[in-house]
Structure 1
Amino acid sequence: MKISLSPLFLMIVLLPSFLASAKDDFDFFYFVQQWPGSYCDTRRSCCYPLTGKPAADFGIHGLWPNYKDGSWPSNCDPDSSYDPDKVDDLMESMRENWPTLACPSSDGTTFWTHEWEKHGTCAESILDQHGYFEAALNLKKQANLLQALTDAGIGPDGGFYNINQIKAAVQRAVGFSPGIECNVDESRNSQLYQIYLCVDTSGTKFIDCPVYPRSKCAKRIEFPTF
């Protein structure tokens, strides 16, 4: 006797195994750093953390698992909540290097919760919660973007710089070509917003990017002050 299974039944039965295979099944990480001046220099503006104005330096946005086809997994384990106690020893460095600029002002917990639950849980068998945040902090030490740019005569002075020169400066310093994401200021000028570097699945080594993020940038982009 042939048994016909409904699509709904199959979805219910197969969904747990699909989620299990999606989790930790990725090709590389994007390590993303953000220029605070560009975050704030928009129509929506920004709010400083409760600890005060961050340093005029690139801050971590996140460490994001990705696939080579340009897609990415997200929210892979709804049962794995962000626990600040697990990163208590990293908290000072996170406040300094991974600050939030979202409004209203906060202590960063909402930002870090989002990054762990959306992105970190998709690499949880490789990096536990402490390992995930520690890996991002270590990568920032390896990629001092502001130093790389200023060494090349590219500074956050409100001037406009050739985007290829920005990429070349980062590549000289880090060894790999970055992806550049731009946003626009209130006058609709294209400005340096985020810099993407690709990292292997261990979260420790920079690699050539299998695919770059999509972003519309002008040939010359502003590097705003902060």
Structure 2
Amino acid sequence: MRFGNIMSLVFVLSLFLLLEVPKSCIAYDYFSFPQTWPKGYCNKQIDEHKTFHCPGKIPKKFIIHGLWPQPSQQAPNGSLLVEEDLKPVEKELGLDWPNLIGKNFIFWRSEWQAHGVISEAQFPKLEYFKTALHIYKQNDLLEILTKEKIVPKAKEVYSVTSVLEAVKKHTEHDPQVVCYTDSKKNVSALYEIRICLTSNATSYRNCPNPHGSCGDGNLLFPK
């Protein structure tokens, strides 16, 4: 091959690499993996008058909300998610990552567009959802809390610290709890727990602001 042809090839390859930089160099420090407590979420919607009920049967387990690269940032243009992309895991997603107030795929697509595309260079579409399902299987929050005698109750409250410590006992790192205010009982009520993982999603790390919106007092674990 002549020298001129070699230089042309080098130029083309260099241009190709430059075009890939914006996608491959998207920066995020870690993942937040939020799991929603369905009863708390549905009660929150009612309390805030967003909806009067969650249609269908409410799961009696924590469910996946998403897998969020952090710190939060504007999602770039990435691959569009279509239903065919998730066929291999559709049934599993329907059980562990359901939409409580609408069609499942609409929820999955919105999570991909808002969060998934940020880590697409590392976790392409199917891999992103498989990774979330794998993390979920390793972190059964209801089982983790039950082991520490923290179970859903209609009236009994638990200290926020006890909930954080129960999850930390499992992950050895600080989680984050998220609450809403139950206006009838005038108490913070749990609707989400988030664990945090390193940027490759293989190890736990501390979440910032563990007490989240729950404060330093007590919380209700809605039944």
TM range (shorter): 0.7 to 0.9
Going from structure 1 to structure 2, the CA distance change for 1:23 and 1:190 (only over 3 Å counts) comes to farther
**Maintained 8 Å contact 1:185/1:191:** yes
What amino acid sits opposite 1:160 in the alignment?
A: V
The superposition leaves residues 128-161 of structure 1 with CA deviations (integer Å, 9 ceiling, x where unpaired) of 0101111111111111110111111110122210
Going from structure 1 to structure 2, the CA distance change for 1:64 and 1:169 (only over 3 Å counts) comes to same
Q: How does 1:18-167 map to 2 (within 5 A)?
A: 20=22, 24-42=26-44, 43=47, 44=49, 45-48=52-55, 52-67=56-71, 72-77=72-77, 79-102=78-101, 106-158=102-154, 159-167=156-164
d(CA) in 1 for partners of 2:147 and 2:158? 14
Going from structure 1 to structure 2, the CA distance change for 1:111 and 1:46 (only over 3 Å counts) comes to farther
What amino acid sits opposite 2:35 in the alignment?
A: Q
Q: How does 1:161-180 map to 2 (within 5 A)?
A: 161-180=158-177
**Maintained 8 Å contact 1:180/1:194:** yes
Going from structure 1 to structure 2, the CA distance change for 1:208 and 1:214 (only over 3 Å counts) comes to closer
**Maintained 8 Å contact 2:23/2:121:** no
The alignment partner of 1:130 has SS state of helix
**Maintained 8 Å contact 1:23/1:73:** no
Aligned sequence identity (%) = 30
The superposition leaves residues 78-98 of structure 1 with CA deviations (integer Å, 9 ceiling, x where unpaired) of x52122211111111111111
Question: Are 2:222 and 1:220 aligned?
Answer: no
For structure 1, the 5+ residue unaligned runs are: 1-16
The alignment partner of 1:41 has SS state of helix
| Alpha-carbon offset, residue 213 of structure 1 | 6.7
The alignment partner of 2:65 has SS state of strand
| Alpha-carbon offset, residue 22 of structure 1 | 9.0
For structure 2, the 5+ residue unaligned runs are: 1-18
Partner of 1:3: none
| Alpha-carbon offset, residue 59 of structure 1 | 0.7
**Maintained 8 Å contact 1:46/1:101:** no
Superposition RMSD on alpha carbons, in Å? Answer: 2.2
Aligned residues: 197
The superposition leaves residues 174-204 of structure 1 with CA deviations (integer Å, 9 ceiling, x where unpaired) of 2222111111224242111111111111123
The superposition leaves residues 191-224 of structure 1 with CA deviations (integer Å, 9 ceiling, x where unpaired) of 1111111111112322223x23773324100000
The superposition leaves residues 25-62 of structure 1 with CA deviations (integer Å, 9 ceiling, x where unpaired) of 110010100111111113234423xxx42420011111
